[in-house]
Amino acid sequence: MDDFDVWWDRLLGYRFTHFFTKFESEVVFCNPDTFQEYTLTHKFISSPNAFLGTDLDGKTHHIKILSFGNYNQLREQFQRIQKIQEYKFAWKLVKVLDLFELYNKDRWILIIVSEFLDCLTLEEISQIMKLENRYNEIAKETSIYLYLYLLNIIESSQKHNIFLNSVFPGSVLFVREEPTTLISIKNTSNFSYNVKISTTNKYSLYSGKGNISNYYPSENLFNSLESELWGLGLCLYALSGANNVDSLPILRELSLDERIQHIDIRYIDPALKLIIQNSLCVMNKSPIDSKIVQIWWGLWINDWDAIKICTHEDLDGLFSGLLFESSYSSRRILKQILSISDNLPSEVSTYIMNNNLLQIFIQKCINYDWKESPQLIDAVFKVLNYPDLSDEKARKFNESLIECGILEILDIAMGLSLESYRLLHLFMLKIKYSNTLSALQSLWENRMIFDFLKRAENGSEADLIFIQNTLSCFGPNSVDFIRECYKRNLFNESVLMQGLIEIPYYFKLEKLDSLCDLLKKFIINCQPKYLLNILEKSVFILEEVVCYPVALQYDQLIGKCSSHTVDEFATLFEKHPMLLFCENCRKVLCANCSLYIAHTDHEKSFLLYQSPYSRCDCEESHTFDHYSLAKFKLPFYSNEFSFVRSDKKLNREANNIFNSEEELTVMTNKSIMQNNKQGTIAYFEIKIIESGLYEDVVIELQGARASYYGKNGYLKVKDQIIKGPRYGSWDIVGIGMTYQDQIYITYNGLLIPQFIDTQPDCDIFACVTIKNRAKIEFKLRDWLFKPDDNFSNNKFYSEDSVNRSKFLLEGIVNHIKKGCKKICKDKKFISWHEKFVKLLETLNLNDLKEKAIMKKKKFLFFTKKN
C-alpha cells in the first residue's frame, strides 16, 4: 500500500477511537413487521441520534433513531426518505436497508438502518488533516472534481423537484472501494475512493436545525437551491480551506466584507477562492453557469474544445487549471494561456502580478513540452516584458526572476530553432540592470552570442543593437567579445572603446594582456577623427586597472566615500562598483555612506554593476568610522589543503574546480583557522565560473555557522542576518573572520563594511554548497581581496599591472608625434597629454615621462617653425 492508503487505514482506526463510544449494556430494537433485530454497539460522540449496530447475522449497520411529537411529522420524513431512495444509485446515496416506526411513551420513534461503510465524512477528514498537518494528502483537483460531481447531483435533484438538504461536510462521505475510479486521490494506486451522500443527517430531517446551521449566513433558506449550493461550497471549503469547518464564525452575524475575510484557502488559486467565497458569503451568484466551473468541467472530462475557446476574460479559470497537479491538464491550459498572451500580453501579465503567480507561471513554462509549440516561447517573453511597474517595483520584479527560474527558461529558449530572437533580446536587456551576469553567461556558454554576431554581419539590426548594449556584459570574456566585434567590423573603435570602459575593472585585470594588445591596435588603426578619443580612453582604462583597484580597496577599508571625496583618485573611475539604493531617501549611496546615521533604519538594496547608476549621491557632510587595516591582514595558507566532496566521489576537475548537477557540498579537509593575535584568522574566496540555473551557491565558514547566499545576498551568522550583494556567474566572493570574532564578506575584491560578532562553535572549515549545474573554483590564496601594506605608504598602484601594461604605455608615448600631426588643432590634446604625464609620474615611470614630454616639445617646435 502507498502513503495515502496507509494514512486512510490509520484514519479509520482514529475514527473508531475518537468519534465513537462503546455501549456497556445491550440495547435491542426489533422491526415489528419483519422481526429483524438490531443490537446497538456504539454511539457517535457528535450526535445523540446516530449509532452503530449489528443484525441477527452479525453484520454491522449505521442506525439512526429519531423522535417525533406526532405521527404526521414522522410520516412526512418516512415518505421523504423513501422518495429520495428511489435515486440511490443515480445520486450515489447511502442505501437505507430498513425503515420502521415504534411508539414509546407518547413519542413516535423512526428507526433508519443504513449500510455501514468504511468511510470518513468530509468534516472528519478536514479535522484530521488540520490536526496532523497533512493537507497535501488530497490534491486540489480532487476537491474540485468532488465539487463538480456534487453540483451535478444537485442539478439532477432540482429537475425532480427534490431538495436533498444533505450536501454538507458531515453527510458527504469518502468511501474506499476497488479500482472503479470516480474521484482520484493523490498518491493512490491500490484503491479508488468513491463518494456517497447520507440523506439521514440531522440538518436534512429537522428542517435546518443542528450545528451546521451556525455557519449559515441566513436563517430561512431551508429547502432552497441557495441552501444546496451553500452546503456544496462548505464541502469544497472542508477540503480546500485554510482552516477546518468548525473554526468558521457564525456568518450571519457578520457583514459581507467580514464574511469574505474569514474565508481563506490553503492553495494559491484565485478562482477557487472566489467560488468558495461566493458560495458561502454572497449567495446570489450561482456557480452553475460560471465560466470557472465550465473550465473545471472541461478539465474533468477532457473537453479541450471548451478550453480552446477561452479568452483573456477567463484567466481566473485558466490559471486555476494551470495550478492542477496533473501535468497533462496543466500543459493544455498553459498552451491556451500563451496563445492569449501572444495577442494580449498585458492582460496576462497584470493578472500574474496581481495574484502573485510569477513563480508558478515560470515553473509551468519550464515543464512545458516546447517541441510541441516552439513559437509560443515568444509569448513567455511578451508576458515578462510587459509589467507596467514603477522603477522600484520593476527592480524587485527583475531581481525575483532568477529565484523563480528564469535562467532555465532562457536555457530552453536558446535550445529552440527560432527565426527571430527579438523578444529574447528585449527581455535580457531589460533584466540585465537588476541581475547578475548569469543570464548573459548562458548566451556565451551556448555560443548563441556568436549566432547573433553572424546575423548582425548579415544586416540584422535587432541583433546589432543587442550586441552593442551587451559589449561589456560577458565577464572576463568581454575583452575577447569586443575583439571579435572588431574583427567583424561591426562597430568603429569609439563604440568599442566605450564597451571596454564599461567592463568592470576586475575583469579588465584578468585579461589585462589581451586588453593592452587590443588598445594598441585601436590606436594604430583608428580613423584620425577618433584618435584623441581613443588616446583619452586608453589612458583612462590604464589608470583604472593600474591604480583604481588599490585606491578603491583602501577607501573601502578606511570607510571613505570615493565618489565625492576630492583627491587625485576620485576621478580615476567612471562608475563606482558597489552602490546601494535607499528606498526611503530615493538616493544612490556607496556602501560606506549607506551606514551613515541618516540611513541606518532605511530599507536599502545593493545595486549590481550593470545598473545605470554610477556615483554616490550622498550630499551629507559626515565623518566615517575608520577600520584598522591590521584587522584585514589575511592568513597564509600552504599548499597542503585538499577538499572533501559530500558525494565521496573523486573530483575530475583540476585547479580546485567543482561542479554538480545535483546538490554538492565541498569543504577543506582540515581547519583553515589560524591562531593569530591580529588580522583575519580565516578567509577564503570562490570564483563562480557558472552560477547554474538558480544561482544556488552558498559559501560558509563551517564551525562559525556563517553563510553567504548567492541567490538573495543574505549573510546569515547563527540567528543574525544582514544583506549583501547577490552574486552569480563570474563574480568572486569571499567570507572571513577577524581575530576579534567578527564575520565579514567581500564582493569582487571589495569589503562589505558590515560585521557580525559571533563566537565559533569549533574549528573553522571552508565550505561551499552548489547545485543545479553550478560550477565554482575554490581560492585559498591569490585572492582578489588584497588589503596591502603599501596602503600606508601611499603607493596606490599595482606593480604587477604596471609591468603587464608597460608595452602599451610605451606604444602611446611613441604614438604622440603621429597623434599630434593628426589632431594638432584640438585643444583637448594638451589637457590629455598633461593627464598622461601625471599618470607616468604617479607610476614612477620617469623615463617614459621624460620621453613623452620631449616628443611633444619636438613636435610643437616643428609646427611653430613651419
Which cell is 659 given? 561542479
Tell whether pTM > 0.85.
no
Three-state DSSP at 176 gives strand
Mean pLDDT value of segment 212-220 = 60
Mean pLDDT value of segment 680-695 = 94
- Other Cβ atoms less than 10 A from the Cβ of 759: the count is 7
> Which range among 206-220, 591-605, 775-789 shows the weakest confidence by mean pLDDT?
206-220
Mean pLDDT value of segment 724-742 = 95
- Provide the greatest CA pair distance for the chain: 140
> Is the predicted pLDDT of residue 18 greater than 80, yes or no?
no
Cβ-contact 140, 325 below 8 angstroms: yes
Class of domain 631-792 as given by CATH? mainly beta
Q: Compute the CA torsion angle 672, 673, 675, 680 (nearest 10 deg).
A: 100
Q: How many residues are given for the chain? A: 866
pLDDT in tens, 576-595: 888 998 988 888 988 888 88
Looking at per-residue pLDDT, the higher value among 407 and 860 belongs to 407
> Is the predicted pLDDT of residue 710 greater than 90, yes or no?
yes
pLDDT in tens, 487-507: 999 999 989 999 999 999 899
Give the pLDDT band of residue 197 (cuts 50, 70, 90).
very high
Q: What is the pLDDT at residue 248?
A: 80
Looking at per-residue pLDDT, the higher value among 69 and 339 belongs to 339
Percent of the chain with pLDDT over 90: 38
Q: At what angle do helices 327-343 and 358-366 cross, to 10 degrees?
A: 110
Most confident option among 366-375, 597-606, 607-616: 366-375
Mean pLDDT value of segment 56-64 = 94
Q: What is the pLDDT at residue 829?
A: 74
Cα distance between residue 200 and residue 216, in whole Å: 19
CA distances from 633 to 330, 676, 684, 819 (A): 56, 10, 13, 45
Q: At what angle do helices 358-366 and 391-404 cross, to 10 degrees?
A: 40
Which cell is 630 given? 591590521
Task: State which CATH number among 3.30.160, 3.40.640, 3.40.50, 3.90.930 fits the domain covering 553-616.
Answer: 3.30.160
Domain 3-119 has CATH 2.60.120.10: no
> Which range among 214-228, 309-323, 525-539, 811-825 shows the weakest confidence by mean pLDDT?
811-825
Domain locations in the chain as residue ranges: 3-119, 501-547+797-865, 553-616, 631-792
Cβ-contact 42, 21 below 8 angstroms: yes
Q: At 518, which helix (H) or strand (E)?
A: helix 512-525
Mean pLDDT value of segment 166-172 = 88
Residue with cell 540611513: 599
Q: What is the pLDDT at residue 211?
A: 56
Contacting residues for 324 by C-beta, under 8 A, at least 6 apart: 139, 140, 141, 299, 330, 333
Q: What is the pLDDT at residue 862?
A: 35
> Which range among 89-103, 464-478, 517-531, 625-639 shows the weakest confidence by mean pLDDT?
625-639
Radius of gyration of the chain (CA): 37
Give the pLDDT band of residue 866 (cuts 50, 70, 90).
very low
Q: What is the pLDDT at residue 187?
A: 45
pLDDT in tens, 232-247: 988 999 888 888 887 8
Three-state DSSP at 149 gives helix
> Is the predicted pLDDT of residue 337 greater than 90, yes or no?
yes
Percent of the chain with pLDDT over 70: 88
> Which range among 46-60, 371-385, 620-634 shows the weakest confidence by mean pLDDT?
620-634
Q: What is the pLDDT at residue 181?
A: 47
Nearest Cα neighbor of 430 from 390, 378, 393, 394 is 394
Kindly list the strands in the beta sheet with 604-607, ordered across the sheet, starting from the edge strand earlier in the chain: 587-590, 579-582, 604-607
Q: What is the pLDDT at residue 241?
A: 87
Per-residue exposure over 541-569, b if at least 16 CB sit within 10 Å of its own CB, e if not: bbbbbbbbbbbbbbbbbbbbbbbeeeeeb
Q: At 113, which helix (H) or strand (E)?
A: strand 107-115
Give the pLDDT band of residue 860 (cuts 50, 70, 90).
very low
- Other Cβ atoms less than 10 A from the Cβ of 514: the count is 15
Most confident option among 9-18, 167-176, 464-473: 464-473
Q: How many CA atoms lie within 13 A of 723 on its CB side?
A: 12
Helix ranges (H only) for 263-421 are 270-277, 291-300, 304-308, 315-322, 327-343, 345-354, 358-366, 377-385, 391-404, 406-414
Looking at per-residue pLDDT, the higher value among 512 and 860 belongs to 512
> Is the predicted pLDDT of residue 354 greater than 80, yes or no?
yes
Looking at per-residue pLDDT, the higher value among 104 and 18 belongs to 104
